[in-house]
Amino acid sequence: MQRNIVHGLLALGVLAISPACTSAPLPTARAAGLEKLDRCAGTQDGLELLRSTTVLRIDPIYSHVLTTNNGEERVNGAKLLVRPPTGMSTDQMDRILECHSAAVLLGQVSGSAVPSDPYWLPNSWVNIDVKPEGGNFAVTLMADTVRDNLQVLRRASRYADEHQLAVEPPLQ
């Protein structure tokens, strides 16, 4: 009798844990899914886009989380405000960045090809969304965990430093 109860509890525990383990596809499965849908056809210019992007500003994205002491702000990603590449729509840029991320995760492109590349993380998926904002493009980058979002923010900050618009000092 006691053995049946223990086995029943173990089975219940496995069932309770199973959905949590399988709720989100693995990053490489997501990447392969993009390629399988032919979403990435014609997006081989991802590296050139990343190297030539001009960053105007970077902002952390925060989420408010309730805690026992009222609440706290947690990093939930980063937003890059970039100059729109000539002749490119937000949808095109979004697709090129997503496909670049997938190509790096699948080992088709070196992760070190662009220093501080914020559009991918090792063994993690980065959600990328490109929207118009004030004549520029707002590129939102978000991962699945606070740890990964902190890494996205660090990489995006370094990338922004390396790709900022050169502003001449004022004449005196």
- pLDDT (tens digit per residue) in 79-121: 999 999 999 999 999 999 998 998 888 888 888 888 899 999 9
| Vertex 46: Cα angle to 41 and 47 (nearest 5) | 140
SS3 call for 53: coil
User: pLDDT per residue over 119-142, tens digit each?
Assistant: 999 989 999 999 999 999 999 999
Per the prediction, the chain carries an average pLDDT of 79
Show me where the domains of the chain are located: 32-163
Is residue 1 helix, strand or coil?
A: coil
Contacts of 88 (CB under 8 A, 6+ apart): none
- The per-residue b/e assignment along 71-103, b for 16 or more CB within 10 angstroms, e otherwise, is eeeebbbbbbbbebbeeeebeebbbbbbbbbbb
- Crossing angle for the helix pair 27-36 and 90-105, to the nearest 10 degrees: 120
Residue burial 132-159, b: 16+ Cβ < 10 Å; e: rest: eeeebbbbbbbbeeeebbbbbbebbbeb
Report DSSP state, residue 120: -
CB 159 within 8 A of CB 116: yes
Residue 169 has pLDDT above 80, yes or no: no
